Structure 1
Amino acid sequence: MTKTSPETDPTAKPRIALLGLGAMGSALARTWLAAGYPLTVWNRSPSRAEPLAAEGADVAATAAEAVASARLVVTCLLNDASVGEALEGADLSGRDLVDVTTGTPAEARARAEWARERGARFLSGGIMAGPPMVGVPEAGGYVLYSGGAEVFEEHRTALAVPVGARYVGGDAGLGPLQDVALLSAMNGMFAGMEHAFALVRNEDVSLKEFAKLLSDWLVAMAPVAAPDMAAQVETGDYTANTDSNLAMQIEGNRALMRTAREQGVGTELLALYGDLMERQLAGDAAPVAAGSR
């Protein structure tokens, strides 16, 4: 039987070549297969591809073979260096390379030029979702894409199958930059949550009930604080939209640090932020937005 393709059947879904079958890559693969997309997969460890073969994926013996099978090539690998290694020797001419590997803005810009020199169009993506969120629209996951607008528009439908697809600009580094910025904020939040639990864990406090308080507090504060902080950064006026000026925030942070010491908890997180605030107040540091409480 002759396989259909967009060239022979305009209604056929285009084949996708996916390189990288870790937890995220496998989740992407399964959503494309479930949506009826013909899929060729490759992974450095072939055993990772076996379950997907049972679900209908074609397994390529080499990355170059996978690339040759499809115009749309998606890389979801460990890091930028692994992308270069996997595609070494592959013919990228006429291909659309979509790289959703976590990396830096500079790496994405260099990879875009690298792809252009090899005859490929390029799109970088920062995945704002964990593997369990892939294929679950109500989970709210998405990918921030940047680079060739024409590449995004042509493949928008396919790219939006696993999670939402958001285009953020023609500079290939913009998607990874915002991805890393959001992940950095998340890591800061996680660190703060760990600190909060450490403060109360040895007291007569239900951690389950405290977790609900903590979650509700962060959810309530974020929508208020983020827009105000954005306005402060944009205008350079760090006294606007705040009920607590920087001096008050510094004094408050000192109380937080004293409490941490009383509870036998490290003060590293608070000390770093406190130092930045004190340096800004003295005019020696980059701006730190004042609290919006």
Structure 2
Amino acid sequence: MSSSPSAVTVIGLGPMGRALAGAFVAAGVRTTVWNRTPGRDRELIEQGAVGADSAAEAVAASPLTVVCVVDYDAADAVLRQGAVTAGLKGRTLVNLTADTPERARDTGRWAAEHGIAYLDGAIMTPTPTIGTPDAVFIHSGPEELYRAQRPVLDALGGTHTHLGEDIGRAAAYDIALLDIFWTSMTGYAHALAVAGAEGIKPTELAPFAQGIGAILPPLFGQLADDVESGAFSGEGSRLSSTVATMAHIVHASEGHGIDASVMRAAEGLARRTMALGYGAEGFTRVTEFLGRR
């Protein structure tokens, strides 16, 4: 937890890992890189990074190691090896790999057992934003450690937010936010399929889809207040009306032979909630019943 390092190691050179390493190099931080698949470091080395021959050599090169791979299975396969684990002892590991909150906590316990200072984190914006003001990073773990490493993490650009000492908190935010994103993307893909079956081109629908999307940001804040307060107001839209709309989507989709299983699941949840006597309340009442069968 000493002052911020002047050197960093990046493990994992997929598109995001290369972007992270490139941002460190561009900021003048001595950057060592390593990847399980050889050859991905070539361009970074040309930019000024140092290529390591092994993961153990890579972590030994810097007081701070940043890892960004596909999931925690891949991270464990690299980090939980004798020489690598030993090399990390007394150093700091920042894990920007996406996975579940419990996997993050498990890695935190492993790090503590081996004398490794550990921060977990998530990247909430796409690869092109890294190194720019548009990047968004979230972190969790010991605040003192986060503050010590913040100066070098700032080389990645954008905003960095420490969410708390619970090592799994950043992953929990990540999972919740990706839930919004991929559910929305699935809905849009389905909408394009339904529109196409009715002879509507994707580019014809897109401006109206953008209008629907613009409705959501202010609703997110309002509905969060409803759920937190337990108000679940149906003044703007009753759950009974929502169910009717969902049924129309299911019938239109299946009339064209389009899979409507996602909307059927949403409709089923809404109907179960309404059957418990909440038809006059708002849609977010379903949050109380998502775990029930």
TM-score range, shorter chain: 0.7 to 0.9
Secondary structure class of the residue paired with 1:144: strand
Q: Matched residues in 2 for 1:86 and 1:156: separation? A: 25
Partner SS, residue 46 of structure 1:
coil
Say if 1:13 and 1:151 are closer, same or farther in 2 by CA, change over 3 A. closer
1:92 to 2:82 alignment: no
- The 1-side partners of 2:111 and 2:146 are apart by 16
Aligned-pair CA distance for 1:118? 1.1
Deviation at residue 284 of structure 1 after TM alignment: 9.9
Kept in 1, the 8 Å contact 2:5–2:149? The answer is no
Q: Is the 8 A contact 2:5 2:63 kept in 1?
A: no
Cα contact 1:20–1:77 (8 A) shared by 2: yes
**TM-score, normalised with respect to structure 2:** 0.88
| Alignment root-mean-square deviation, CA | 2.3
What is the CA–CA distance in structure 2 between the aligned matches of 1:39 and 1:118, rounded to whole Å? Answer: 24
Q: Deviations over 1:113-171 (max 9, x none)?
A: 1111111111101111221222232xx33111001111211121221322421111110
In structure 1, the partner of 2:97 is: 101
Q: Residue 3 of structure 1 aligns with which residue? A: none
* Contact 2:238–2:283 (Cα < 8 Å) also in 1: no
Match of 2:210 in 1: 215
Query: CA separation in 2, counterparts of 1:273 and 1:141?
Result: 33
* AA matched with 2:178: L
Deviation at 1:209, TM superposition (A): 3.2
Is the Cα contact below 8 Å between 2:32 and 2:51 reproduced in 1?
Answer: yes
Counterpart selection for 1:252 from 239, 245, 250: 245
Matched, 1:57 2:49: yes
| Cα distance in 1 between the residues matched to 2:161 and 2:106 | 22
Q: Which residue number in structure 1 is paired with residue 111 of structure 2?
A: 115
Aligned residue for 2:290?
A: none
How big is each residue's C-alpha offset from its partner over 1:77-132, in whole Å with a ceiling of 9 and x where there is no partner? 12112222212122222111100011110011111111111111111011112212
Deviation at 1:204, TM superposition (A): 4.4
Alignment of 1:157-176 (within 5 A): 157-162=151-156, 163-176=158-171
* Partner residue, 2:291: none
Unpaired runs of 5+ in structure 2? 287-293
Matches within 5 A, 1:43-54: 43-54=35-46
Indicate conservation of the 8 Å contact 1:98/1:124, yes or no: yes
Query: 1:158 aligns to what SS in structure 2?
Result: helix
Once residues 200 and 240 of structure 2 are traced to their aligned partners in structure 1, the CA distance between those partners, rounded to angstroms, is 31
Q: Is the 8 A contact 1:245 1:290 kept in 2?
A: no
Offset of residue 288 of structure 1:
5.3
Amino acid at match of 1:193: Y
Name the % identity.
31
Q: Per-residue CA shift, 1:210-261, capped at 9, x if unaligned?
A: 212212320x221232112212221223226x41111111122112222223
In structure 1, C-alpha distance between the alignment counterparts of 2:225 and 2:208, rounded to whole Å: 28
Name the CA distance, whole Å, in 2 between partners of 1:207 and 1:261.
Answer: 19
2:56 match: secondary structure: helix
Report the Cα distance in structure 2 between the residues aligned to 1:178 and 1:212, rounded to whole angstroms.
30
Higher relative CO (Cα under 8 Å, sequence separation at least 6) belongs to 2
CA distance in 2, matches of 1:228, 1:264: 36
Residue in 2 that maps onto 1:24: 16
Is 2:231 the partner of 1:230?
no
More helix by share: 2
Given that 2:273 and 2:285 are in contact with CA atoms closer than 8 Å, whether structure 1 keeps it comes out as no
- TM-score for the superposition, normalised by structure 1: 0.88
Runs of 4+ in 1 over 4 A off after TM superposition: none
Question: Does the Cα contact within 8 Å between 1:280 and 1:288 map onto a contact in 2?
Answer: no
Change (3 A) 1:202 1:246: closer
